[in-house]
Amino acid sequence: MTTYSNLPENSKCLVTGAAGFVGSHLSRRLLGGGCRVTGLDCFTDYYNRRLKERNIRDLLENPAFDLIRADLADLENDWFDGVEYVFHQSAQAGVRASWGEEFSHYTRHNVLATQRLLEWARRTKLKRFVYASSSSVYGNTGKLPMHEDDLPRPLSPYGVTKLAAEHLCNLYHQNFRVPTVSLRYFTVYGPGQRPDMAFHRFIKAILNGDQLVIYGTGEQTRDFTFIGDIVEANLKAATTGHVEGRVYNIGGGTRISVNGVLEILKELSGKPFKVRYEPVQAGDPPHTYADTTRVRNELEFMPETSLQKGLAIMLDSFREVD
């Protein structure tokens, strides 16, 4: 069982992407542990910014939370005085949207922004710099489970930019001793998930009585990870000694097909629904599954939330939205 981690009280933290899905949950947990949090978000129009405003509504009422509305790629050195821990969660998200003319947004927000933040970090005294990477760096490795030492073969421009930023973190650690740790998230879900992601779309369609759309046959498999476990992994990465420069898979521990997920949702919701299958989308790997041996051994991290329980929590959150 996971021993829950907390940073020292009054630790000063920077959370980039603080109004996003992971960033808002992480900021809430840090504040609950007595930390002071500076959140940064540029509120891109990738999805309705009203959802981001809702994510941080309660955070803005906390006197220990400060919000900077700015683009990290326009970083100014005096923004983050006194920060001890960085949780770099911001990114231009979305595998399917990363093709074509949109690619410049991905290079700016995923690569350039990370490089600017690392340049700032090498001139300050941080205790830890935790970078949110992605299982998208693996692509179609042809090998399961996916291990951190496997050769990355991204299938999408998004995956390429996340891998590039991960390499930058490693370079700044090797050359300037920036205390980076990279976490490769495997398909994060839970309350507040982005509206373009599968579970959000599925649950919304079920509750509205709409048809569900699946890209592919539904037999593609994923390692789904609950948001609470992602937050805990970040805290473990920030507080565990002698792990600077390391990369870790953060998976939920269960590999299941999309069709299998639909069966769970049918049982939890008690509602029948129709499914329409569309062609697979460019950039989507057929399978993901995390080898979590390294993170178990070095960070003593194990996911706590089963897929059944996590989906029940997410379903309830939709019913409670005002």
| Candidate list 46, 85, 131, 158, residue with the active-site label | 158
Q: Three-class SS string for 249-308?
A: EECCCCEEEHHHHHHHHHHHHCCCCCEEEECCCCCCCCECCECCHHHHHHCCCCCCCCHH
CA dihedral defined by 96, 97, 102, 107, rounded to 10 degrees?
-70
Question: How, if at all, do strands 225-226 and 188-189 pair?
Answer: parallel
Active site residue 158: yes
Crossing angle of the two packed helices 113-121 and 157-176, in degrees rounded to 10: 10
Q: For residue 158, what are its two tokens?
A: 């998004």
Please state, in angstroms and rounded to a whole number, the distance separating the CA atoms of residues 30 and 238: 12
Are 46 and 93 in contact by the 8 Å Cβ rule? The answer is yes
Q: Which residues are catalytic?
A: 158
